[in-house]
A = this chain, B = another copy of it.
Amino acid sequence: MISVLVLGSGSATPRVDRNPSGILVNSANSSFLVDCGEGTQLQLRKYKQSLQRINHIFITHLHADHFLGLFGLISTQGMLGREKPLQIFAPKGMEEIIKVQMKITKSWLTYSLSFHEVDCSKSALIWEDKEMEVYNVPLDHKIACSGYVFKQKKKPRNILPLKIEQHKIPVYARKEIKLGADFVDEKGRVIPNSELTVDSEKALSFAYLSDTKVLNEAPTILNDVDLLYHEATFLNDMADRAEATHHSTAEQAAEFAAKCAAKKLILGHFSSRYDELHEFVSEAKPIFANVHVAEDGKWFSTE
């Protein structure tokens, strides 16, 4: 399962009930942070999430409402005695902003901080470990901007414990069987893999696309995405304003989710002009039924 916690569902002008952008992505034993608007460290505390569990931060673009909390978060991680390295993935400029503040505030960190410049002109695998791959996806905003796609790696098949016993499968043979091999027993009999194993859990995916004018084409990497967070700054009666400011409407986000054959859609990044969000759902639902609206403090997960 991949679970995400909305830390900020607002847009550039924040509201008391909607912080600037930030989302925590939990998968297996890892926590990733995507975007880090002003107040993100306090939102993490408010919702009782560990600051130190985050080892990787992905910034979509360098507008203030998406990165302004970064220096506060990394400072606090240091003051709390962090020793684990922290990696930041962001468009060009993020490192300069942080380094200038480090220099002027005469700050030093107790841990290693590294920056990885994301090339927002193309999609690429930008990070992976044994469980997860993270890709960036170029978005269409007024400034260099990338969405991020978190894809769990497919785990090997599971050998049924009963079959290990029945066929006396030695330890050395099990790795190959998990990868799909048949098993030849002591008497030379071939036991087909399908009798020995069951498929592992589905590898799931989450994509975060904000801020962007809706993309005309759904990038291949988003095909069948399990959980899609797409910005919907406006309702469709403000489609002109969305176009002019390189944002999307709820209707456009729903159409895009349908194009991707996404399983579930979360709308977020709402303009501060909207007090209520039910119209975002009613606009998107006829086009994409499994639609939800982001709210600060709300968890969503793959199904």
Contact = CB atoms under 8 A, between A and B. Distances in A.
Interface of A: 12-16, 19-20, 38-39, 41-42, 45-46, 62-65, 68-69, 71-72, 75-76, 79-80, 93, 96-97, 100-101, 104-107, 142-143
Given A104-B93, A105-B63, A143-B105, A42 B68 contact: no
Given A13-B79, A64-B71, 8 more contacts: A12-B76, A12-B79, A14-B42, A14-B72, A38-B38, A64-B101, A96-B100, A97-B104
A22 to B, nearest CB: 12
Given A42-B16, A46-B16, A104-B96, A64 B75 contact: yes
Contacts of A12: 75-76, 79
Contacts of A76: 12-14
A100 B93 CA distance: 9
A72 B68 contact: yes
Contacts of A19: 42
A4 B51 CA distance: 32
Nearest to A142: B106
Nearest to A75: B64
Contacts of A80: 13
A105 B45 contact: no
Contacts of A65: 72, 75
A142 B42 CA distance: 25
Contacts of A13: 76, 79-80
27 contacts: A12-B75, A12-B76, A12-B79, A13-B76, A13-B79, A14-B45, A14-B76, A19-B42, A38-B39, A38-B41, A38-B42, A38-B69, A62-B104, A62-B105, A64-B71, A64-B75, A65-B72, A68-B68, A68-B71, A68-B72, A93-B104, A93-B105, A96-B100, A96-B104, A97-B101, A105-B143, A106-B143
A81 to B, nearest CB: 11
Nearest to A144: B106
A44 to B, nearest CB: 10
B14 A64 contact: no
A90 to B, nearest CB: 11
A162 B278 CA distance: 64
A20 B79 CA distance: 14
A196 B179 CA distance: 102
Closest 3 CB pairs of A and B: A93-B104, A39-B39, A38-B72
A194 to B, nearest CB: 53
Nearest to A72: B38
Contacts of A143: 105-106
